[in-house]
Chain A
Amino acid sequence: MALKITTDNFKNEVLEAKVPVIVDFWASWCRPCLMLGPIIEEIAKDLDGKVKVGKVNVDEEGYLAQQFRVSSIPTIMLFKDGKVAKQAVGLMRKEDLLKTFGL
């Protein structure tokens, strides 16, 4: 299961994570985000233990979305050692997303 990422747990779950973290910025009104949802869950299952996967609801966590300059959703970021290592925008197939992230 993808983790629910909030302003409160962001530092602990994402920035200080020992493994790379995929973060999906999404919203319930965004159709492409809803199509991406199951793909993100699949990645969470496939890469369990190697990569952490989380989701940020941009409506509830406007501060995080703003901090990372999310201006189009879905935006998917790969965090490594507390920094954004890779970024992708828009609905993508699982294999394309993993390729973009070098996973």
Chain B
Amino acid sequence: MRDIIVIGGGPAGVSAAIYLKRFKLDVAIIMKDQGTLAATDHIENYYGIVEPVTGKDLFQRGIAQAKRLEIPILVEEVTGIDNFDNFIVRTDAQTHQAKAVLLATGANKTGLKVKGFADYVGKGISFCAICDGFLYRNKKIGLVGHGEFMREELEALANISQDIVVFTNGETLEKDVEGHPVVTDRIKALRGDDLLRVVETTAGDHQVDALFIAMGTASAADFALRMGAFTENNSILVDEKFMTNIPGLFAAGDCIGGLKQIAKAVADGAQAAIAIHKYLRNKP
């Protein structure tokens, strides 16, 4: 078992890991992709940057820095986190155990940008199969997604109903869906009465009783929801020690909201690391 697992390899996650390593803690970073930083092509407002750098370059420097300090970087997709006495972090490759977890996965996704979406959240639209799935026993369930996150949710939903249709919303299906029908057309709108009834795609209408959202990879807010951590406006709520309402579960960077700047993410990471160090020292 490790002392701490950092999920996310951006500025918040790497900064935290560097400090945690210096505290001589057993820390590892689990990361999937390069996040929002790599999409930024021109950074010149960060301390010490003389000539502008690309986000991708800065991201890679961060990873190289962590590697030089002998911090293990595991390129795996986290599919779930369970908390009992300690944390169990499940990925598409294996299962890890840690005494604490830091979520630093970047900004949380906001759902589908289509007409009707906001109207039907909680009225047929759900972000969590294990939370709401049972309410739709043997009903017709739509599931939006195309990768590992979608497949995980499909597994949970398949215990509840056999009538499931997967909407990739224009993306290429990356995982086997075990015979469930797949709609690849883009979703245009969501309609219904006081509850969601219809998913309207570019190619036609599909009747549903519920629509579960599992687009792309799971973000920190998705884990928070499943674990019972407080969120507000899609940001994870943390105290002044960067800890959520779940003891040992910390969060830093864009996923907790606030200024979306590298400087802020780095500062979050450093402060979270110091708090995590204290937490682990005092943990019985």
Contacts and interface: CB of A to CB of B under 8 A. Distances in A.
B210 to A, nearest CB: 7
B111 interface: no
Interface size, B (range): 20 to 34
A33 B225 CA distance: 11
A32 B123 CA distance: 17
A34 B83 CA distance: 14
A89 B122 contact: yes
B245 A35 contact: yes
B232 to A, nearest CB: 7
A48 interface: no
A33 B135 CA distance: 14
A67 interface: no
A31 B131 contact: yes
Contacts, number: 57
Contacts of A69: 123, 194-195
A29 B132 CA distance: 9
B257 to A, nearest CB: 15
Interface residues of A, number: 23
A58 B135 CA distance: 8
Interface in B101-141: 121-124, 126, 128, 130-132, 134-135
Given A29-B134, A72-B135, A96 B195 contact: no
B89 interface: no
B279 interface: no
A10 to B, nearest CB: 19
User: How would you classify the secondary structure of chain B's contact residues: helix, strand, loop or mixed?
Assistant: mixed
A26 B227 CA distance: 15
A59 interface: yes
B56 interface: no
Interface in A61-84: 65, 69-73, 75
A27 interface: yes
B19 interface: no
A91 B231 CA distance: 8
Contacts of B264: none
A71 B127 CA distance: 12
A71 B122 contact: yes
* Of B122, B134, B135, B194, most A-chain CB atoms within 10 Å: B135
* Of A31, A71, A91, most B-chain CB atoms within 10 Å: A71
Contacts of B232: 93, 96
Given A31-B228, A69-B123, A72-B135, 8 more contacts: A31-B131, A32-B131, A35-B245, A69-B194, A71-B126, A72-B131, A89-B122, A91-B230
Interface of A: 27, 29-35, 58-59, 65, 69-73, 75, 89-93, 96
Interface of B: 121-124, 126, 128, 130-132, 134-135, 194-195, 210, 225-228, 230-232, 237, 245
Q: Which 7 A-B pairs have the closest CB atoms?
A: A35-B228, A89-B122, A72-B122, A31-B228, A72-B132, A32-B228, A30-B131
